[in-house]
Amino acid sequence: MDKPNNPEASTIWGGRFDAGPSEVMSRINASIDFDRRLYAQDIRASKAHCEMLVRQKIITAADGAAIAAGLDTIVAEIENGTFVFRTALEDIHMNVESRLKDVIGDPAGRLHTARSRNDQVATDFKLWVRDALDALDTGLHDLQAALIDQAERHSASLMPGYTHLQTAQAVTIGHHLLAYVEMIGRDRSRATDCRKRMNESPLGSGALAGTSFPIDRHFTATALGFDRPTANSLDAVSDRDFALEYLSLAAILAVHLSRLAEEIVIWMSEPFGFVKLSDAFTSGSSMLPQKRNPDAAELVRAKTGRVIGALAGLLVVMKGLPLAYSKDMQEDKEPAFETADTLALCVAAMTGMMRDIVFQTDRLTEAARASDTTAVDIADWLVRERGIPFREAHHVSGRLVKLAETKGCRLVQLSLADLQSVEPALTEAAKAVLDVETAVQARTSFGGTAPTRVKEACADARKRFLGGKDVKQ
């Protein structure tokens, strides 16, 4: 048996406990090693609570002033590194409260009036997730800016477009990059939705049932930038779906980043040779001197696992909990912290790569021309100019591809006589549509790949996602 080692801990909950917890109890119970990251939110919420207690005449103005000043001292101590975090005091809430007692003495004991750690932690954590969402939005804005800059630069540059990773049709590089701008735009809008839905204050819900003190929950909600207080105290202390929603949108975003990272890895491989990344975003091999590896992209791809793992982990933590608070919920923070750190790093790395990347346009154009990507354009011509049903026209085009194959050449290299041997209705004008550049320029449907459309789409994306503002490079 472990012997009690922290008599000090029991002083926090007061009378009921004689001895402190065992050493192992203290270790499994304490969250201070990670929840110290909530210090700013914890103190901000405590100050709002204290101000409300004074306004409602639940505590005196003098005690309130002492508490507020003490809390300011504690923030300063934490920020200048002199604050001593103690495992015996379990978590950030009790570390702050205990230190407050050292700093201001007896009035410290009045701060926790009409409050429980259950509504306190829900409030702190919500404030933290809200800050994380705001920081994420800024990072994603910058990533979109980097993508849009490249898309503008390459609004008319050709590249092969793929389905099944088989060359399908030529597209413009700008068009391809704008696809990611749209995905990230939806990620940002999911974050905005999440922020809006979660923006209700749990503070004042007490342990689970509310309080008999005449508190003003609307005041604290407004003071903390929430839209309103939560409507149900049981829900307020039990809800972690705001964290689950954050992790869900984070997982979807991580998947988007991973797909782009995967494309960078493919594009940088020798057989493709579509892009170059500088020394800033690659690394060498310890054995093979000729190598340049896309490590940053690989790691962005790999770190997706952590984010998806965080979501899966918290879903499992929550799935069997009865109302209201259970200590299981202390396990909610690390997945969120890890996700925020991982995403910040991955978004910054991806933004850096997107500014650094150099598209090898000659190689990309050559690859876009290397395959019979305009076979469908001949079919479309027959439909448009000769009124042939598409299915039939598709067959004609298929026979032309086969003819080129037999002759060991590309579709564009067939002579007019070759074309007419398959379908007499074909003319020089039909032959012209086989040119890749012409084909790309013709795809002017809304959302299509034609350079004219991509230029408009870049301007539109700038307006929709960057607020038309210039962004730092």
Site of interaction with ligand ARG (CB under 6 A): 31, 35, 91, 117-118, 121, 325, 327, 329-330
Residues 162, 79 contacting (CB under 8 angstroms):
no
We find the least distance from the C-beta atom of residue 136 to ligand ARG, in angstroms, to be 22
Provide the token pair at 81: 């590194």
Apex 56 CA angle, 36 and 101, nearest 5: 40
- Residue 116: CB minimum distance to ligand ARG, A: 7
Nearest distance in Å: CB 215, ligand ARG: 19
| Residue from 269, 278, 285, 326 carrying the catalytic annotation | 285
Identify whether 164 is a catalytic site residue.
Answer: yes
Minimum Å distance from CB 11 to ligand ARG? 16
Helix/strand/coil for 224? coil
Report the residue number, 118 or 282, with the smaller CB distance to ligand ARG: 118
Strand partners, 229: 201
Chain centroid to CA 399: 47
User: Residue 34: beta bridge partners?
Assistant: none
Instruction: Identify the residue whose tokens are 């009865």.
Output: 322
User: Of 115 and 117, which CB lies nearer to ligand ARG in the complex structure?
Assistant: 117
Q: What is the spatial distance between Cα 301 and Cα 183, in angstroms, rounded to a whole number?
A: 16
Q: Which of 236, 248, 237 is nearest to 200 (CA)?
A: 236
Residue 243: CB minimum distance to ligand ARG, A: 12
- What is the CA angle 422-426-428, rounded to 5? 125
The set of residues, in sequence order, having a beta carbon less than 8 Å from that of 270 and lying 6+ positions away, is none
Least distance from ligand ARG to the Cβ atom of residue 367, Å = 54
Strands 166-172 and 200-201: unpaired
DSSP assignments along 72-93, one per residue: HHHHHHHHTT-----GGG-SHH
DSSP conformational letter for 18: S
Closer residue to ligand ARG (CB): 172 or 330: 330
Closer residue to ligand ARG, CB minimum distance, 339 or 374: 339
Pairing of strands 158-163, 166-172: antiparallel
Which residue, 35 or 63, is less far from ligand ARG as judged by CB?
35
Measured CA angle at 112 (ends 111, 115), to 5 deg: 130
Tell me whether residue 9 or residue 198 sits nearer to ligand ARG (CB atom): 9
Question: Min. distance of Cβ 199 from ligand ARG in angstroms?
Answer: 21
- Contacts of range 388-395, beta carbons closer than 8 Å, 24 or more positions apart: 388/425
Smaller CB separation from ligand ARG, 151 or 237 = 237
Of 358, 356, 350, residue with least CA distance to 157: 358
To 5 degrees, how large is the angle CA 279–CA 280–CA 283? 55
Determine contact, residues 457/144, Cβ cutoff 8 Å.
Answer: no
The two tokens of residue 80 are 């200048």
User: Minimal distance in Å, beta carbon 323 to ligand ARG?
Assistant: 13
Q: Please name the helix (run of DSSP H) or strand (run of DSSP E) that holds residue 164, with its range, or none.
A: none
Closest to ligand ARG by CB, 226 vs 325, is 325
93 is catalytic: no
In terms of DSSP bridges, do strands 275-276 and 228-229 run parallel, antiparallel, or are they unpaired?
A: unpaired
Residues with active-site annotation: 164, 285
